[in-house]
Chains A and B, each alone.
Chain A
Amino acid sequence: MDIKDYIASGILELYVAGKLSEKENLEVAAMAQEHAEVRTEIEAIENAILELTRAAAPNTTPDFQEIRDKITVPETKVISMEKSSSAWFSYVGWAASVLLAVGLLWMYNSNQDLRTQVEAASQEKLLLEEQIANANNSLEQTTELLNTIREKEISVISLAGQEVSPSSYAKVYWNKSEEKVYIDAIGLPEPPPGMVYQVWSLKLDPLTPTSVGLLEDFTSDENRIFALTNANESEAFGITLEPAGGSESPTLEQLYTLGVVSS
């Protein structure tokens, strides 16, 4: 996506307002990390809001001291040092400073290591947060799907396995008023390469098939539920295996499942 368009979309203004979803926030944070332009723009927007909110402030703000008195700060320990006057003190001092130098070098090195680790960890954290956001999303989608097939007006048609594949089955959830069908194809085997399942709406007398659509990307769709549009006065539904791209009329030898709409 073009950075200028991204900035012009107004998403950064909403980011500063805190009005984006968790997922969008992460996206903006990632964009800002990647593009200096986005960072600068976010800061400019924030500055404008800072200026405006400051202008809306009353003339006095409470003193920090009042707050200071009300909080607890983790205590830092004070260690008292005892005076030493022995002659060998300076030798020990030299030895100590050499040790210190070595120690500092070692600490510098391990600090570099830690930095790399922290960076890696924060990258990983960002990734994990993105995964959580994605998981939430897919949960939402699943819930939506569940609600859809639970609707009142939906009729459910079971399609039974036919000669080619007696163990196959499928279900059709048909919302007549919205002209939508959802095909639950979990009971169909994976199509061989170069082949695709095609859904047909059938009129029984005389037998007239009309294509409703293809179950594309069969393997990549994990829940195997496909939404298609069906404006036909269907009396039955069938699913056949066809060459990629689908066919004009069904190849009946490859009829996998068939089911009649109960009236």
Chain B
Amino acid sequence: MSLDSLVNRFQEKDIRAYEQLYAMYAENITGVIHTIVRDEQLAQEICQDVFLKIWDKADSYNSSKGRFFTWILNIARNAAIDKLRSKSYKKNKQNLYTDNFVGTLEASMEDDSTPDTSILKSLLKGLKGKCVSVIEMLYFKGYTQKEVAQELAIPLGTVKTRNRDCIGKLRKNMTLLHGH
């Protein structure tokens, strides 16, 4: 079944289509949220909230405006960032802007509960720090192009092409990873 018809059925409140979409994307969504909140338990909670939300708001998705995954991704990022900004996490707010995957990689060496980072490592292999930051800001942390440009002190127009280069490298690493 194509993604389009799966999404259509989901919008008609077909629970099986919903379950299938959950199986497809729940891990990714938890991954994005975890990168933002850095707490496995919390990441799972927020992921659940996100999926409950998309079920209730299924009508509001519109395929002409973007990919289905992009839609959930956006909801998930907002939910995670909202959580971080809420009172109980205020003191850790600083982390939102300084941490990146490097944090995840380092943390995994000390602690078994964090993600298995071997795949992450191979995917990011050879990518420069700036590349990792661009990808992380745009896809994981929801920065706008303008905010990325400011953060990295590069011209606005460069964000688009740099990001394409970086995703290109990521895709190359992906092929290598699956080639073995």
Question: Which A residues are within 8 Å of any B CB, using their own CB?
Answer: 8-11, 13-20, 22, 25-26, 29, 42, 44-62, 64, 66-68, 70-71, 73-74, 122, 125-126, 129
In the complex, the 4 A-B pairs of residues with the closest C-beta atoms, listed nearest first: A10-B164, A57-B31, A56-B31, A53-B28
- Cβ-defined partner of B31 (8 Å) among A8, A42, A54, A64: A54
**What are the residues of chain A within 8 A of B135 when measuring CB–CB?**
52
A74, B145: Cβ atoms under 8 Å?
no
Interface residues in B113-147 by Cβ distance below 8 A to A read 113-117, 119-120, 123, 135, 138-140, 144-145
Report if A58-B113 is in contact (Cβ < 8 Å); known contacts: A44-B171, A53-B139. yes
Report if A29-B64 is in contact (Cβ < 8 Å); known contacts: A53-B31, A71-B52. yes
- Cβ-defined partner of B139 (8 Å) among A22, A49, A60: A49
- Cβ-defined partner of A10 (8 Å) among B29, B113, B160, B171: B160
B117 to chain A, nearest CB (A): 8
Give the residue among A9, A11, A56, A73 with the most B Cβ atoms within 10 A. Answer: A56
Per the bound structure, the CA–CA distance linking A108 and B171 in Å amounts to 44
B52, A55: Cβ atoms under 8 Å?
no
Report if A59-B67 is in contact (Cβ < 8 Å); known contacts: A48-B171, A71-B55. no
* Contact stretch, chosen from B40-48, B80-88, B90-98: B40-48
Does B7 count as interface, using CB distance less than 8 angstroms? no
Interface residues in B24-39 by Cβ distance below 8 A to A read 25-32, 34-35
**What are the residues of chain B within 8 A of A14 when measuring CB–CB?**
138, 145, 160, 163
- Cβ-defined partner of B30 (8 Å) among A10, A25, A29, A58: A58
**What are the residues of chain A within 8 A of B29 when measuring CB–CB?**
53
B120 to chain A, nearest CB (A): 4
A55, B48: Cβ atoms under 8 Å?
no
**What are the residues of chain A within 8 A of B114 when measuring CB–CB?**
58
A67, B48: Cβ atoms under 8 Å?
yes
Per the bound structure, the CA–CA distance linking A66 and B170 in Å amounts to 34
**Which range holds the interface residue count of chain B?**
35 or more
Per the bound structure, the CA–CA distance linking A66 and B51 in Å amounts to 11
Per the bound structure, the CA–CA distance linking A11 and B145 in Å amounts to 11
Per the bound structure, the CA–CA distance linking A86 and B43 in Å amounts to 63
B142 to chain A, nearest CB (A): 8
17 A-B residue pairings within 8 Å (CB atoms): A13-B138, A14-B145, A16-B69, A17-B139, A45-B171, A48-B174, A49-B167, A52-B120, A53-B27, A56-B35, A57-B30, A58-B40, A59-B113, A61-B26, A62-B44, A64-B23, A70-B52
Nearest chain-B residue to A18 (Cβ)? B70
Give the residue among A52, A122, A125 with the most B Cβ atoms within 10 A. Answer: A52
Per the bound structure, the CA–CA distance linking A26 and B116 in Å amounts to 38
- Cβ-defined partner of B115 (8 Å) among A16, A44, A58, A66: A58
B64, A13: Cβ atoms under 8 Å?
no
B174, A56: Cβ atoms under 8 Å?
no
Nearest chain-A residue to B119 (Cβ)? A55
**What are the residues of chain A within 8 A of B170 when measuring CB–CB?**
48, 52
B32, A53: Cβ atoms under 8 Å?
yes
B160, A11: Cβ atoms under 8 Å?
yes
- Cβ-defined partner of B65 (8 Å) among A26, A44, A52: A26
**What are the residues of chain A within 8 A of B174 when measuring CB–CB?**
47-48, 51
Nearest chain-A residue to B71 (Cβ)? A18
Give the residue among B35, B123, B160, B164 with the most A Cβ atoms within 10 A. Answer: B164
Per the bound structure, the CA–CA distance linking A51 and B24 in Å amounts to 11
**What are the residues of chain B within 8 A of A126 when measuring CB–CB?**
64
What 12 additional pairs, Cβ within 8 angstroms, besides A58-B31, A67-B51, A70-B48?
A10-B163, A11-B160, A17-B163, A26-B64, A52-B123, A53-B27, A59-B115, A60-B44, A62-B26, A62-B48, A64-B23, A122-B64
Nearest chain-A residue to B121 (Cβ)? A55
Per the bound structure, the CA–CA distance linking A18 and B62 in Å amounts to 13
Does B101 count as interface, using CB distance less than 8 angstroms? yes
A16, B67: Cβ atoms under 8 Å?
yes
**What are the residues of chain B within 8 A of A54 when measuring CB–CB?**
27-28, 31
B59 to chain A, nearest CB (A): 13
A26 to chain B, nearest CB (A): 6
